[in-house]
Amino acid sequence: MEKRARVLIDCHDAKGLVYQLSKVFYERELNIDSNREFVDQENGRFFMRTVVTGLFEQAELLQALQEVAPKEADIRVIVPKPKKIILMATKESHALGDILIRHADGELDATIECVIANHDTLEHLVRRFDIPFFHVPTEGLSREEHEKHVMNLIDKMAFDYIVLAKYMRILTPTFVEAYARRIINIHHSFLPAFIGANPYKQAHQRGVKIIGATAHFVTNDLDEGPIIAQDVIPVNHRQEWRDMQRAGRDVEKVVLSRALSYVLNDRVFVNGNKTIVF
């Protein structure tokens, strides 16, 4: 029975790579449904995302590709299936609610394993969608102690990504390193401008003409991880910072949704502190 695979390749650039890789598909009579390539000339890195259909064994196809690619190549042959995500939230409902609705409508190519929050404010919302909700309070706990409780919950579950849907706590290096390149955050600013607290107030004070939102992978550098998606909307001098905040929430949920779509469909390569998005 025919099946589909997403083939992701990240390696040093070399002459004839596309030919050698395509030959592997041709020899197995696989149809190339789509193909995108990019060469980072500055660093000599080659990236390719190819979707193929046909009769193949996943392990054999991977081995064949490894034999013609550079030795250090990172090659993944992925048979598409819904990924598993964990959502983390605090009190704001717009980003979390948008993801829950998309999931309920079948738009999200993922299953939501649970929602973890440091307040119980959003429990009633989450329960409406029959998603498990875990409240892990912070009172009386150090940041490390609180995260230990959260990590104990997370580590009991099989998951692909953790999505910070307006989770308003800075994560420790221990947490970030435990789930490296698996944590996605939505930041209420067009990074790298206006990082940290209350960027809308900062933006208003600077008299900006556009505001935006940024979805990125989380690293130990606050709000400076590889950017997955961004967008902006126009604003003007008539708007107070709270008006900008309300408008910005719409951008935040759209950008987070777009970034999730890219990641869940295996369209994102991390290239240093940048991303390649096909």
Q: Which residues are catalytic?
A: 223
In angstroms and rounded to an integer, the radius of gyration of the C-alpha atoms of the chain is: 21
Separation between Cα atoms, residue 174 and residue 136, nearest integer Å: 18
Separation between Cα atoms, residue 132 and residue 112, nearest integer Å: 9
Maximum pairwise Cα distance, the chain:
63
Beta strand extents in the chain (DSSP E only): 3-12, 31-40, 45-54, 74-78, 83-89, 110-117, 133-135, 161-164, 183-187, 210-217, 227-234, 268-271, 274-277
The pair of three-digit structure tokens given for residue 252, joined into one six-digit string: 């935040």
Alpha carbon distances (Å) from 2 to 8, 37, 257? 19, 25, 30
Q: What is the DSSP letter of 171?
A: P
